[in-house]
């Protein structure tokens, strides 16, 4: 007697995994985060920062410092661009730079 197997459907591809990289914190941001760097898995700067806020929600100073920071993504200044429009790359680096005294 032949054994019949139900037809298998091909695996449905899901959405691609978000890019993974590193967030580096400097000066007051480093102190507030309690670490110099941590990984991200996010498509945009806004997503990466939201995840970082959730990760450090028990450190209220972190959110206050982050509001005042500027950001570099892979060495390029973000400036006033909307963070949801700043795409992150696989293996990329986000630098979190609080205001520095002097100049």
Sequential pLDDT tens for the chain (103 residues): 555 555 555 556 667 889 999 999 999 999 999 999 999 999 999 999 999 999 999 999 999 999 999 999 999 999 999 999 999 999 999 999 998 755 5
**Under a CB-based contact definition with an 8 Å cutoff, are residues 43 and 87 in contact?**
yes
pTM of model > 0.85: no
Rg (CA), the chain: 20
b/e for 45-54, b at 16 or more Cβ within 10 A?
bebbbebbee
Sheet holding 37-41, edge to edge: 37-41, 20-25, 93-97, 70-73, 76-77
């Amino acid at each position: 007697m032949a054994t019949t197997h139900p037809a298998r459907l091909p695996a449905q591809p899901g959405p691609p995994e978000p890019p993974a990289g590193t967030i580096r914190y400097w000066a007051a941001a480093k102190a507030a985060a309690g670490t110099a760097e941590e990984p991200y898995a996010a498509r945009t700067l806004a997503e990466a920062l939201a995840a970082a806020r959730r990760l450090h929600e028990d450190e209220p100073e972190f959110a206050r410092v982050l509001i005042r920071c500027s950001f570099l993504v892979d060495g390029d200044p973000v400036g006033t661009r909307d963070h949801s429009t700043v795409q992150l790359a696989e293996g990329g680096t986000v630098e979190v730079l609080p205001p520095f005294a002097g100049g």
